[in-house]
Chains A and B, each alone.
Chain A
Amino acid sequence: MMDYSRYKVATYAIAAILLFVADVAVAHNVSEQDAELIAGKTGWQFVLYVWLGAKHMVTGYDHLLFLVGVVFYLREFRNVAIFVSLFALGHSITLILGVLLDLGVNAYLVDAIIGLSVIYKGFDNLDGFKTLFGESPSERVAVFLFGLFHGLGLATKLRDLGLSDDGLFANLVSFNLGVELGQLAALVVILLLLRTLPRRSRRSKTGAAVNVGLIAAGAALLAYQLALYAAS
């Protein structure tokens, strides 16, 4: 009976993740409104860009899924802080450099790699690399490297909004600050939700099921972006 109820929770969790991805992916046209907000404004717009940064993080389902995977099996606050900082460092570097250097990377391909990062994290959480290959790649290095790609993804979206050169760097830093604030807010919610899952150990079937769900969601993101890339 105990196992049965856990399966139920896991099924609901997977269904919720997939529905969330589906919903946001289809209704993901917020950037047009954002472009209107930015249009015509020059100089340092601190509040506007902090708000936009936070919004992009909180509505960025791909970043959130990766974040869920990263903190899923972390128990100590110290570890959460280390991993989230590595992720933040990675995406801050490429977010700022990507816009300043005007790196013309393809948004679909970057988002596809971000989908891949979600698959990786789900698989790693299942101990997949250890089980199949005997050892897993360094989690810290992986989080930092994938953080770089997440930052590139943010940079391409910010570039698409049509930024004014006037006050560009200050606005970028403001946007980045907003991203970190949004991430912090999302993190609090994620950690609270994870605590409600029964027995968050590696042996738990619920844990396995949620990470299988992450793999599925990551694959959906990957296929979605690659299909759009092929069609573009």
Chain B
Amino acid sequence: MNKTTLVLVTLAAVALGLLIGVGLADRQHGGPAPAVPAPTSLEALNGAPVFRYLKPEDFQGSASRRAGDGPATVGENFTRQDKAWKSETLQIELGPEGDVEYKVFMAEGDSIVFTWQVAGAKVYFDFHAHDDAFGKEFFTRYEKGEAERGAGSILAPYTGQHGWYWRNLETRQATVTLEVAGFYDRIEEAEL
């Protein structure tokens, strides 16, 4: 066997073997470990008074407990939806230092996934919900801070308004692009 043949044949054999070996390991291991399922706000809120202020730790504790318990039962992770499926994309203009609030009207048990991102300036956001039974002075806060984007999902714990307050932190025009999909009644701009 000359040098060229030897090198080519050896490389081909090693490449073939590496492919087979990685494939076998993947099959045995079942691919990468599944991500821990995100807690639903419903679970975090069960039994709690709706006007109680929820800290991020409340959600995290729920996540780790669920991870330790192993796979959740089907009933916990599946909700039948009879409402029509919708999806909307909104372009929301934010003037210099302007603010705006958008609400998703949802009945208890409705669910949505959403994503938003801002172009042009940095914004402060406050993602929270109001329960129809208690009025606007009570709220459940999901998340707040300064960011360029946000994304997530909601399983409505009560009938009410779930949405975002955005404030433009700069003296430039900004545009927030909000996409919502799922099972909900409507999206409206709220009066501030």
Contact = CB atoms under 8 A, between A and B. Distances in A.
Contact of B24 (A212, A213, A216, A220): A220
Interface in B15-53: 15-22, 24-29, 32
Nearest to B3: A131
A228 B25 contact: yes
Nearest to B32: A231
Contact of B25 (A18, A131, A223): A223
B24 A22 contact: yes
A218 B17 contact: yes
A223 B32 CA distance: 16
Interface residues of B, number: 25
B13 A216 contact: yes
A119 B18 CA distance: 11
B22 A212 contact: no
B24 A219 contact: no
B6 interface: yes
Nearest to A203: B1
Main DSSP-derived SS at the A contact region: helix
A222 B156 CA distance: 50
A215 B24 contact: no
A190 to B, nearest CB: 20
A122 to B, nearest CB: 8
A224 B22 contact: yes
B26 A227 contact: yes
A219 B3 contact: no
B29 A228 contact: yes
A123 B7 CA distance: 10
Given A123-B10, A215-B14, A219-B13, A227 B29 contact: yes
A197 to B, nearest CB: 17
Given A127-B1, A208-B1, A227-B26, A219 B21 contact: yes
Given A212-B10, A227-B22, A219 B17 contact: yes
A21 B25 CA distance: 12
Interface centre among A127, A208, A219 (most CB of B within 10 A): A219
A126 B1 contact: yes
Contacts of A224: 20-22, 24-25
Contacts of B28: 25-26, 228
Interface in A24-56: 25-26
Contacts of B24: 22, 25-26, 220, 224
A131 B14 contact: no
Contacts of A60: none
Interface string A108-128: 000000010001001100111
B6 A220 contact: no
Contacts of A208: 1, 9
Contacts of A25: 24, 28
Nearest to A22: B24
A119 B13 CA distance: 10
Nearest to B31: A231
Contacts of B3: 131-132
27 contacts: A22-B20, A26-B24, A126-B1, A127-B1, A127-B6, A131-B6, A132-B3, A132-B7, A208-B1, A208-B9, A212-B9, A215-B10, A215-B13, A216-B13, A216-B14, A216-B20, A219-B14, A219-B16, A219-B18, A219-B21, A220-B21, A222-B18, A223-B22, A224-B22, A224-B24, A226-B21, A227-B22
Interface of A: 18, 21-22, 25-26, 115, 119, 122-123, 126-128, 131-132, 208, 212-213, 215-228, 231
Q: Please list the 9 inter-chain residue pairs (A to B) with the smallest Cβ-Cβ separation, ordered nearest first.
A: A219-B17, A223-B21, A227-B25, A224-B21, A220-B21, A220-B17, A216-B17, A215-B13, A216-B13
Given A122-B13, A208-B1, 18 more contacts: A21-B20, A22-B20, A119-B14, A119-B17, A126-B9, A215-B13, A215-B14, A219-B13, A219-B18, A220-B21, A223-B22, A224-B20, A224-B22, A225-B21, A227-B25, A228-B25, A228-B28, A228-B29
